[in-house]
Amino acid sequence: MTTQRARVLMLQGTSSHAGKTVLAAALCRSFARRGCRVAPFKAQNMSLNSFVTPEGGEMGRAQVYQARAAGLDPHVDMNPVLLKPSSGEVSQVVVLGRAVGHMTVREYHAYQDQVWPVVTAALDRLRAANDLVVVEGAGSSAEVNLRSYDIANMRVALEVHAPVLLVGDIELGGVFASLLGHVELFAAEERALLAGFVINKFRGDAAQLDAGIRTLQERTAVPTLGVVPYLEEWRGDEEDSVTVARPGRSGRPGAPLRVAVVRLPFISNFTDADALAAEPDVDLRFVGSAREIAGSDAIVLPGSKSTIADLQWLRRTGLSAALRAAAAAGTPVVGICGGYQMLGRRILDPGRVESSCDAVEGLGLLDVETTFASEKRTLQAEGVVAAACPLGSPGVAVSGYEIHMGRTVLGRGSRPLLRLRTTGSGEERPDGALAGAVCGTYLHGIFDHPEARAAFLNALRAARGLPSRDPAEPTVDDIDRLTAHVEAHLDMDAVERIADLPSA
């Protein structure tokens, strides 16, 4: 490849969850296989699913997935702006991996003049180091009411003269009207960048779409590059909780082990449970009522971007009482990050970091107290289980990453759960808390570690009189499976021409 700045290929959508993330990942893997240095990019991501890079920067997990598809370590340049909603009106704003504050919509729109140069500089750095950058847009790219505030869609494409593939979600219905409507709403200079349509998540006989595709071509002169069928039981990182309960993310109904994950209104990093859902004998369910928890072999209380608000929701729904009853009956309860904080005695927010409350009572299942700090802790860590607990025997290996504003102190009634060291550091420190069958930790991704996952599930199997199992290992990489699927249904020769990569 030549040393000139990378070409840019952009995927935009007619809606959120149209499939831009997964199609971009597939293109990253496909071009990487062809010997192309390719990197993903999304200027602005609104998501509560985030990850910590080796350098300690926070970014959206969707771009981490795409980076893995490209064969790269994730870097915050791939997602320079991350918005993490903490209420209906306010989001935490993360720029180049660091939180810069909480802002209302109006405040963030006023801030965008400062952040746009950060976005373009990050894209420039990726272009300098690669042959191709696959850019993902955000939501719908034709929201005319938001055009002046858009820094993730056509403004990016116009900045670098990137050809655009417009992705429509046929599962939602009205895909042809949606695609054509977007073209009608694009300005002339935006329309000039539109290089192809992709119809995604189709079920049935694709020949039934021929008349609609011809009409699109006649009305817009833009070709449809493929109809990509819905890929059953696909697993990968996505941006938001829209996909929480879909097949492939939830477990297998009727499987002998039942694990309940509480679906909090502000649930974050729900991907922490994905590895459990992949186990063939686990029926993993995202639950929102006390009735749904009944009969579970274990309960996971996941992370939250608004811990106090979600704690209050637990009380309103009766889930708090159900969790206490389950713990009293000996059912393992595992809290992760915000879920860990909720399991404690009290949560203090003297600086009003997260809420308007100075202090709230927790569920009281762990003797810990959490105080919110103004500085976010973001790091990768590894270590071992410190004491016999639902996560296994002492010495079981664990690893993951931390993203939290809280600082938690143990009382006499709880013991440390883990012994951790920050990745790259030899200094050991305690993490989490344990009291009987209840435990909590700040470590996201703990079930991704096969040893910890096997220890957790084998204890549940033993309690049910079931034989132990080795941790499930996917026989085919989900990214490889996804890429093969996309390559089979997308005109990759046309995509390569549109990308216009220089000859080697």
Active-site annotation, residues: 337, 444
- 3-state SS record for 166-205: EEEEHHHCCHHHHHHHHHHHCCHHHHCCEEEEEEEEECCC
What is the rounded CA–CA span in Å between residue 98 and residue 120? 17
Task: Count Cα neighbours of 229 within 13 Å in the Cβ-side half-sphere.
Answer: 12
3-state secondary structure of 144: helix
80: DSSP letter: -
CA distances from 89 to 61, 84, 104, 107, 359 (A): 23, 11, 6, 10, 22
Interacting residues of 291 by C-beta distance below 8 A, sequence separation 6+: none
What is the end-to-end Cα distance of the chain in Å, rounded? 4
**Residue 251 dihedral angles phi and psi, to the nearest 5°:** -90, -155
Nearest to 186 by CA among 151, 225, 154, 152: 154
CA dihedral 69, 74, 79, 81 (to 10 degrees): 150
b/e per residue 44-74 (b: at least 16 CB within 10 A): bbbbbbbbbbeebbbbbbbbbbbbbbbebeb
CA 424 to chain centre: 25
| Phi-psi label, residue 247: left if phi above 0, alpha if psi -120 to 50, beta otherwise | beta
Please give the single-letter amino acid code of residue 365.
L
What is the rounded CA–CA span in Å between residue 456 and residue 332? 10
Please give the single-letter amino acid code of residue 489.
H
146: DSSP letter: G
**Residue 199 dihedral angles phi and psi, to the nearest 5°:** -100, 120
Nearest to 226 by CA among 140, 180, 168: 168
| Phi-psi label, residue 432: left if phi above 0, alpha if psi -120 to 50, beta otherwise | left
- The length of the chain is 504
Tokens of 45: 């991501």
Q: Residue 268, class by beta-carbon neighbours within 10 Å (0-12 exposed, 13-18 middle, 19+ buried)?
A: buried
